[in-house]
Amino acid sequence: MNCKLNNGQVAVDDNSIMQRIHDRNESGLSDLIAAYGNQVFGMCSLIAVDTSDAEAVTSDVFLEIWNRPTCFDAQRGSLGSFLLTLARSRSLDRLRARRNYQRNLQNYCDATACERLTWGSSPEAGLVETEDQMRIREAVNQLPEDQRNALQLAFFAGLTHREIAERLSIPLGTIKTYIRKGLLHLRNTLADEFELGGCR
Amino acid sequence: MSDEAANRETNNNKMQRANHPDSSRDPISCESVQVLLVEYLMNELEDEPRQRVEGHLDDGCPQCKQQWQHLKTGKGLLLRAIPERELSQELRDKILASAVAARVDCGVPVRTPQVTEVLASGRKPAGRRRLESALLGLAMLACGVMLAPFIAGPRQDGASKIDVASNPPPEEIRVQADAPFGETPRLERSSRRPIAFVAGSADAVYLSMRGEAIFDYAAMQVHFFGSDFPPPPPGKDYVLWLQYQPDGPTHPAQTLQLSGDGRCKAIVNLAENDCYRVFITLEGNGGMPTSPTGERPLLLLQAS
């Protein structure tokens, strides 16, 4: 099944891409990068401290799936979600490995409403936002501030729930509630608009 | 916010109960699962509670599955909201070059994903052929491959089933592994010497394997002998395939069982009296595939 990308382009069938990667056919990797490279690089750029790190992690992500294609299980989710989750995870690993991580983290948490996150287009930084992304960002920005901060700290600063609770001096159970409510709110707000349950 | 405060203690107690080791013996409740789903979503659960959550979801509880789906969708939306950033052509090329240059194939370092079949000097005329031994080798790989052919032994008319142990190929061709990928390796005759198939190039050797196939058309069998095979990666087996015609289908013949020192052997019945080649691939274990599913051939042995 071909899927429609955020930018309106029709993507090559994910199954075909993965089959060719399994077959060690370079065209599969090439198509994978064409379909998801910008998304993965965007994710890495958001978390990494600089472009060099973002490029290194992006490269690692694609090489990881090339070398171990069995790590993707189509039964557990879409290829796009898998790659973004992998990109986020590897970016956070690299961020944590930096010696000045704790200091940067403190600065990050001190910033009001996580200003560091670039929610929106930033041509000078090479970030391009599609209409869909703009709509999702609007929905995120409509979330109560506590929920939004908890989501951002959990997903893009790499803090565990317990770490968020300690830094924000809020009970752990409340943090989990914020995150759960935030995700469900997001889903409910956009369900009809995005025909959720589709290919991506 | 006041609601949150009122529920704080309750939520914490629920989570503590759900994570308590003693509770692993009891069926987990929907209430406990739903408390844990957010941590499960973020991969923050330890093994025991994670397994309990997965078990509950696998059991098909519709309410919890729906909640799980909704949370996953919310997470997907959040990730999707990240602005894209144009990946430069230079970096794309670099990634592809890295994949080709240093691919790790299921634990076996190999090179380039391009299969090059070198070989053989052409097939024998059609008809019943009797090769006491025919071998062509190739060493391949590295993701790439290298192939090497060799042939051994004069034909023996009227050959019956061959006792290879007492009748080794009388003549062999050694393949020198100094050819760049994609080029025909230089051949060098050496009599009664081991036949080494080395996959790699002059500056990097990645894998070496040996093998020979003896086609016994009188007995309608092919005997395959291999050595220096690296252990297959977990979950994989080496599978021997037959191909009767150059453009014909491939037929799974046998899963190769390695001895402790990397040797293997197989005797396979032939369905036709003219076999084009045998080759080996890595396949997932647990059942014989009907066609090669993904791993490139590791070793090609072709009758000439």
Tell me whether residues A6 and B80 touch, CB distance under 8 A: yes
Q: Does A4 contact chain B (CB < 8 Å)?
A: no
Angle at B223 (CA atoms; ends B218, B225), nearest 5 degrees: 160
Question: For B71-106, what is each residue's pLDDT tens digit?
Answer: 988 888 888 877 788 899 989 988 888 777 644 333
ipTM of model: 0.78
Per-residue pLDDT in tens (0 to 9) along chain A, 200 residues: 344 444 444 456 888 899 888 887 888 899 999 999 998 998 888 777 778 888 999 998 998 888 888 888 887 778 888 898 889 888 887 777 665 555 555 555 554 334 444 444 455 555 666 788 788 888 888 889 889 888 888 887 777 888 888 888 899 889 999 999 999 999 999 887 876 643 33
Tell me whether residues B81 and A187 touch, CB distance under 8 A: no
How far B39 CA sits from the closest chain A CA (Å)? 8
Q: Give the span between the Cα atoms of B76 and B201, in whole angstroms.
A: 45
Beta bridge partners of A122: A127
Using CA atoms in the order A13, A17, A19, A20, what is the torsion angle rounded to 10 degrees?
140
Q: Does B63 contact chain A (CB < 8 Å)?
A: no
- For residue B42, count CB atoms less than 10 angstroms from its CB and return exposed for 0-12, middle for 13-18, buried for 19 or more: middle
- Cβ contacts of B219 within 8 Å, gap of 6 or more: B160, B161, B162
Tell me whether residues B70 and A184 touch, CB distance under 8 A: yes
Measured between CB atoms, which of B37, B73, B296 is closest to A196? B73
The two three-digit tokens of residue A71, written as one number: 């790590």
Q: Identify the pLDDT of residue A134.
A: 80
With beta carbons less than 8 A apart as the criterion, state whether A58 and B91 touch. Answer: yes
Q: Identify the pLDDT of residue B169.
A: 33
Q: Give the span between the Cα atoms of B1 and B6, in whole angstroms.
A: 9
Write down how long chain B is.
304
Q: Identify the pLDDT of residue A107.
A: 55
Q: Give the span between the Cα atoms of A185 and A139, in whole angstroms.
A: 9
Cα of first residue to Cα of last residue in chain A, in angstroms, is 11
Q: Give the span between the Cα atoms of A49 and A107, in whole angstroms.
A: 13
With beta carbons under 8 A apart, name residues in chain A contacting B15.
172-173, 176
Place of tokens 């064409």: A34
**For the range B48-51, what are the long-range contacts, defined as Cβ-Cβ under 8 Å and sequence gap of 24 or more?**
B48/B21, B48/B24, B49/B18, B49/B19
The two three-digit tokens of residue B264, written as one number: 């293997």
Give the mean pLDDT of B175-183. 32
Tell me whether residues A66 and B12 touch, CB distance under 8 A: no
The DSSP-derived string for chain A is ---B-TTSPBPPPHHHHHHHHHTT-HHHHHHHHHHHHHHHHHHHHHHSSSHHHHHHHHHHHHHHHHH-GGG--GGGS-HHHHHHHHHHHHHHHHHHHSTTHHHHHHHHHHSTT-TTS--S-BGGGTEE--HHHHHHHHHHHTS-HHHHHHHHHHHHS---HHHHHHHHT--HHHHHHHHHHHHHHHHHHHHHHHTTTS--
How far A99 CA sits from the closest chain B CA (Å)? 23
- Cβ contacts of A38 within 8 Å, gap of 6 or more: A128, B84, B85, B86, B87
Tell me whether residues A155 and B78 touch, CB distance under 8 A: yes
With beta carbons less than 8 A apart as the criterion, state whether A165 and A153 touch. Answer: no
With beta carbons under 8 A apart, name residues in chain B contacting A25.
113
The confidence band for B28, taking pLDDT boundaries of 50, 70 and 90, is confident
Residue B12 has pLDDT above 50, yes or no: no
The confidence band for B110, taking pLDDT boundaries of 50, 70 and 90, is very low
The DSSP-derived string for A170-187 is --HHHHHHHHHHHHHHHH
Residue B164 has pLDDT above 60, yes or no: no
Place of tokens 């109560």: A144
Q: Give the span between the Cα atoms of B113 and A63, in whole angstroms.
A: 13
The confidence band for B57, taking pLDDT boundaries of 50, 70 and 90, is confident
Buried b (16+ CB within 10 A) or exposed e, B259-272: eeeeebebbbebee
With beta carbons less than 8 A apart as the criterion, state whether A30 and B73 touch. Answer: no
The residue that leads in pLDDT, B256 or B227, is: B256
Buried b (16+ CB within 10 A) or exposed e, B239-254: bbbbbbeeeeebbbbb
- For residue B59, count CB atoms less than 10 angstroms from its CB and return exposed for 0-12, middle for 13-18, buried for 19 or more: exposed
Residue B122 has pLDDT above 50, yes or no: no
Q: Does B187 contact chain A (CB < 8 Å)?
A: no
- Cβ contacts of A33 within 8 Å, gap of 6 or more: A62, B87, B92, B95, B96
How far B254 CA sits from the closest chain A CA (Å)? 21
CB atoms within 10 A of CB A145: 11
Task: Name the most confidently modeled range: A80-84, A116-120, B145-149, B238-242.
Answer: A80-84
Question: For B187-213, what is each residue's pLDDT tens digit?
Answer: 333 322 333 333 333 233 334 556 666
**Dihedral sign computed on CA atoms, order A111, A113, A114, A117:** negative
pTM for this predicted structure: 0.50
Give the A window 96-115 contacts with B, CB below 8 Å.
Answer: none
Q: Which residue does chain A place closest to B44, by CA atoms?
A: A160
- The CA–CA distances, whole Å, from B258 to A5, B114, B261, B265, B301 equal 47, 26, 8, 8, 18
Measured between CB atoms, which of A128, A174, A183 is closest to B86? A128
Q: Give the span between the Cα atoms of A178 and B53, in whole angstroms.
A: 21
With beta carbons under 8 A apart, name residues in chain B contacting A146.
1
Residue B224 has pLDDT above 70, yes or no: yes
